[in-house]
Amino acid sequence: MTSFLVLFRAVGYGLLLLTLFDVISAFAVSPSQFGNPGWQFQTAGGFVERSAVPLIGFILVFYDNLESRKKRESIVLRLLSWIALLSGVFYFALVVVFFLNAPTLNEQGQKQLDAQFEPRIAQAKLVQSELKKLQPAQIEAAMKANRITGDPQAFKATQEQNAATQEKNLTLQSTLTSNDRRLTLIKSAVKWALGALVTGVLFVRIWAGTDWAR
């Protein structure tokens, strides 16, 4: 049984070490990234998605109190107990990150979407406006240049309808894309915020339950 406990704890320490590598990797970026709401949001989400690893690691390390421990390990356990509390506070702080950054990211995404669709919608409106100004002679000349036969007024009406349809489709596509992006952002923010809250509570429970190590 003792050897099995040692294996448990070894796996636990290994998981905590892997978590440390993840933390170092996450923060080993350009200082300018720290002020980027997108980076903050995605990095915080990554911490939540991988939160099971350190939680399991702490449970395995602290399993079975102080039995069969070496004396020097008690120092490590005391430190880890306080790290569990700090981790809980960290995850509670992530809840704030999600709800503060979500509106900013939504605004940035909407600006990018507007920059993508507004020029195309404006172009479709301009085409409609220009078509309405065309004189019969100009329409006939355009039809002749493009080797199109038929009634000039019918041709003009068809082109106006095509431009109006294009404007309508672009506006609808912009609205649907905006709604989908906003919904995805809200779902991610709520999911990760709840995950961070639960994780924070669990870390605090680990800290409270390891008073024997302190």
- What dihedral angle (degrees, nearest 10) is formed by the CA atoms of 182, 184, 189, 194? 140
Type of residue found at 81: S
Please provide residue 71's backbone torsions phi and psi, each rounded to the nearest 5 degrees. -60, -40
pTM, 2 dp: 0.83
Using CB atoms within 10 A of its CB, is residue 7 exposed (0-12), middle (13-18) or buried (19+)?
exposed
Chain centroid, CA 16 distance in Å: 25
- Output the CA–CA distances (angstroms, integers) from residue 176 to 55, 71, 113, 188, in the order listed: 39, 63, 11, 18
User: pLDDT per position in the chain (214 positions), as tens?
Assistant: 567 778 888 999 999 999 999 999 999 887 888 889 999 999 999 999 999 999 999 999 998 776 667 778 888 999 999 999 999 999 999 999 999 999 999 999 999 999 999 999 999 888 888 888 878 778 777 788 777 777 778 878 888 888 899 999 999 999 999 999 999 999 999 999 999 999 999 999 999 999 988 7
- Distance CA(183)–CA(177), nearest Å, equals 10
